[in-house]
Amino acid sequence: MVKCQIEARGVKDPLVLKAMEKVPRHIFVPENMKEFAYEDGPLPIGYGQTISQPYIVAFMTEALEPKSTDKVLEVGTGSGYQAAVLAEIVKEVFTLEIVKPLYEKADVVLRELGYKNIHCRLSDGYSGWAEEAPFDKIIVTASADEVPQDLIDQLKDPGRMILPVGDFFQELVLVTKESGEVSRESVLPVRFVPLRHGKEK
Ligand code: SAH
């Protein structure tokens, strides 16, 4: 998976490649999907949601330029896989999920795998996690129409955020904050499930 799907497409950061090798993706997918866990695509995880394609997980992680000292916010815990990949590299991961059964499952799986630096919470990630802000890095794994202002406000200076933006046609947008300036750059066309807004379910 790492060589053919990820390195071959240009992901180079050794920390990211090592994390992708280490995290057991099959643990994060439903029982009936396990045989496809290392294939080159997204997979359903229930409740109309998906675990992203391995390459996209690696690409987004690398785009954040993750460091061992980073405090990271993730919006959209889903299976918990992306959070685990990040937690192999950074100091702490704070991850938010709006669908209760997904939150509960990911919390158990991550605890069973021994991740002590991942903190899960059930809430609408649109408004971020104010009590823990600011974050060195922010990753959103569901697509929004706009970059949520609360997330920009909760990003450290300097800081980096990556998220899919758009409706049917989406792009991964890299938002950087530096010396008080916020800039954005589209880096890859993608297809993510939409970010919901409102109460957790
Ligand atoms: N990072 C995940 C992929 C999750 S798919 C993984 O590695 O498996 C996107 C997730 O975002 C879904 O689980 C969905 O329920 C969640 N989501 C959608 N809107 C949200 C919101 N407003 N706040 C938090 N999570 C949200």
Task: Tell me how far the alpha carbon of residue 29 lies from the centroid of ligand 1, in angstroms.
Answer: 14
Q: Are 81 and 19 in contact (CB under 8 A)?
A: no
141 lines ligand 1 (CB under 6 A): yes
pTM across the whole model = 0.97
For residue 108, what pLDDT is reported? 98
**Residue with CA closest to ligand 1 atom 13:** 78
pLDDT 10s per residue in the chain (201 long)? Answer: 999 999 999 999 999 999 999 999 999 999 999 999 999 999 999 999 999 999 999 999 999 999 999 999 999 999 999 999 999 999 999 999 999 999 999 999 999 999 999 999 999 999 999 999 999 999 999 999 999 999 999 999 999 999 999 998 999 999 999 999 999 999 999 999 999 987 666
Amino acid at 150: D
CATH class given for the domain over 2-196: alpha beta
Q: Of 101, 49, 44, 109, which Cα lies nearest the Cα of 83? A: 109
60 lines ligand 1 (CB under 6 A): no
37 lines ligand 1 (CB under 6 A): no
For residue 166, what pLDDT is reported? 96
Structural domain spans, the chain = 2-196
Please identify, by atom number, the ligand 1 atom nearest to the C-alpha of residue 57: 7
For residue 90, what pLDDT is reported? 98
118 lines ligand 1 (CB under 6 A): no
Q: Of 128, 165, 126, 123, which Cα lies nearest the Cα of 143? A: 165
φ, ψ for residue 9, nearest 5 deg: -95, 5
User: Which residues does the annotation mark as catalytic?
Assistant: 52
Q: How far is CA 149 from CA 51, 81, 119, 155, 164, in A?
A: 26, 26, 23, 10, 15
**Residue with CA closest to ligand 1 atom 14:** 76
61 lines ligand 1 (CB under 6 A): no
